[in-house]
Structure 1
């Protein structure tokens, strides 16, 4: 037979409400009493009735996260960090990789307290009805009608180009996915283009290499294609961790020494950048900061539904490692 709070109260010799408060870690219960109750609960095999708790508190203590793909490194790391931040607040996370509409419907039926949405086709508009579940998204804040954690892709590209220019580079290629339906990739493209113009660096088609995808292999093939042209850049910026890993592999296979022959910067600021074949200099908002700000913003919405949360723009950071070097003048002139 299932153990109830009443059973624990009888064994402990305390009131029903005292047991309830102890199980919810209330500071109103003395430490000794709380420890006694928790020990008894464990011995008796007590399992909380979450459905009943939800009816009383009107909270499920569950956050839904929607992301259609986890095949790439940076998204996987970010989801892990978000889960850690949610757990610190005593909540659980449900991850859905189904379509957005399908996931939203499931989460509404599950009565989650809030939803974090990652939409790579981020041109889509999500209706944030005032009666809907609190919702936060991530990426680009332009033209969005729900709170967005904006990681400032254009500024990241500007800082990457600026850093390379200080090292003497003027022949810089950007390798990334130029899909027009993904606002994140479009912002990176625009940011690189604006930075090159700001530093009066001439550009042509060889400065923009389209991977047509975001995988390791896409970066690898695109780099091989660039190396087979007459253009010889002295530096490359990769649009993501996975693309940059493919860039490094292609360069090493072609006997380029990084950074002696060619410097490389990768977008995505995750610790794994240091574990590539060449520890990679990276640009972007640190992954831990993104996770904390996403979760913080969502909980602000959950606790203050009547308050409009503004979009939050984060600051990209350059993380120097071993993949960039001062350009050699003789090589630059080739």
Structure 2
């Protein structure tokens, strides 16, 4: 026999409290003292009450979430947008609407401020921002806070302000640790290894370097240096040739950002016996994993970053949940045998 659905009326009759007070307590609204709220929630749980979230969503105004993304459509951001869109699709019955705001220059605070101001003008209730920007956003973040518009950042916060709800980011230190361990498995004791990063001042890149360097002694590896490419293939090519000129016995490379194209080309053309740990999955990494030039890639799982950012912001706005300031996404190891699971 199907069990009868528990309603607010059932809780009201058991406690002798009005429907309105119970509704406020269940929906985390003001006007109910702490002890009574606790008693109502405990009774609701005891009776097996479940909020009809879809019906509740239809009864309120549409939640509009602005998503500020770069115009650059590289594979890196394709994964991110896939996750964003997938999570918004799950919320389609919960009266949630997304609006994309595209910035042409990823590193321009002017473009970012312009997009955020447009979000304010459009009346969004929350914002998801790809956290790849310079300083100069303190004022706009303060304006958003005054207007009670929460921001979830995707990536390590490099802003000087803490006026954001949460930052969803890869566990960058662990990525560096994993890279050191993988290079030890692929090389030998006392192997000479180098690390390539985009920008040494970038917080995420710093943590990857630290995780890698801190574990070199653990795995018996020798560092020949940390090299900064600014994610420029030409610079990466020049640095690679410079390293090889100085170190004829280079055994391993950790490419900590998406800067592997030139490095892979040099290894392939000169038939070098150098083992490589890459980062993420793009067409270049896929090619070199399949050809054996690269041995593995540490995938930052940007699809999960996107999903998590949407879910956190929705739960904060609609369900008034407390959200952690930083949410870490575990990096994943990609090798040739499981590559198809992430590229299909």
Superposition TM-score, scaled by structure 2 size: 0.65
1:263 maps to what in 2? 275
Aligned equivalent of 2:286, options 257, 263, 275: 275
Deviates more, 1:159-168 or 1:101-110: 159-168
Question: Does 170-179 or 297-306 show the bigger shift?
Answer: 297-306
Give the corresponding residue for 2:195. 174
Quick check: 1:72–1:215 contact (8 Å CA) kept in 2? no
Go from structure 1 to structure 2 and tell me whether the alpha carbon gap of 1:63 and 1:304 turns closer, same or farther (over 3 Å shift).
Answer: same
Corresponding position of 2:32: none
In 2, Cα distance between equivalents of 1:244 and 1:119? 22
Structure 1 CA distance for aligned equivalents of residues 317 and 236 of structure 2: 40
1:291 aligns to 2:306 (yes or no): yes
Deviation at 1:154, TM superposition (A): 1.0
2:150 to 109, 130, 134: 134
In the alignment, the residues of structure 1 paired with residue 235 and residue 317 of structure 2 have an alpha-carbon distance, to the nearest angstrom, of 40
TM-fit CA distance, 1:286 = 2.3
Residue 164 of structure 1, aligned match among 177, 183, 194: 183
Q: How does 1:106-125 map to 2 (within 5 A)?
A: 106-121=118-133
Which digits, 9 at most, give the CA deviation of each residue in 1:176-226, with x for residues without a partner?
22342x2222222222222224445343xx331221x11444433432332
User: 1:27, 1:80 → 2: CA distance?
Assistant: 24
Residue number in structure 2 paired with 1:88:
90
Q: More displaced, 170-179 or 106-115?
A: 170-179
Query: Alpha carbons of 1:27 and 1:316: their partners in 2 closer, same or farther (altered >3 Å)?
Result: closer
Matched, 1:228 2:231: no
2:228 is equivalent to residue 210 of structure 1: yes
Q: Partners in 1 of 2:134 and 2:177 — Cα distance?
A: 22
Return 230-239 or 306-315, whichever deviates more: 306-315
What SS does the corresponding residue of 2:322 show, helix, strand or coil? coil
Q: Distance in 1 between matches of 2:312 and 2:321?
A: 14
| Cα contact 1:154–1:191 (8 A) shared by 2 | yes
Aligned position for 1:102: 114
Counterpart CA distance in 1 for 2:323 and 2:169 is: 16
Match of 1:149 in 2: 168
Query: Which runs of 5 or more structure 1 residues have no equivalent in the other structure?
Result: 1-25, 29-53, 323-334
Q: Which residue of 2 aligns with 1:253?
A: 269
1:58 to 57, 61, 70: 61
Residues 254, 93 of structure 1: CA spacing in aligned structure 2 closer, same or farther, 3 A cutoff? farther
- Contact 1:134-1:305 at 8 Å conserved across structures: no
Secondary structure of residue in 1 paired with 2:236: helix
- CA RMSD, Structure 1 to Structure 2 (Å): 3.2
Deviation at 1:254, TM superposition (A): 2.2
Partner residue in 1 for 2:16: none
SS of aligned partner of 1:171: strand
**Mapped partners of 1:82, 1:216: distance in 2:** 29
1:249 and 1:137, CA in 2 relative to 1: closer, same or farther beyond 3 A? same
Residues 136-190 of structure 1: per-residue CA shift (max 9 Å, x gap): 002226984420112111110101111221334431111122342x222222222
The alpha-carbon deviation at position 315 of structure 1 amounts to: 1.4
Q: Flag the 1:271–1:254 CA change in 2: closer, same or farther, 3 A.
A: closer
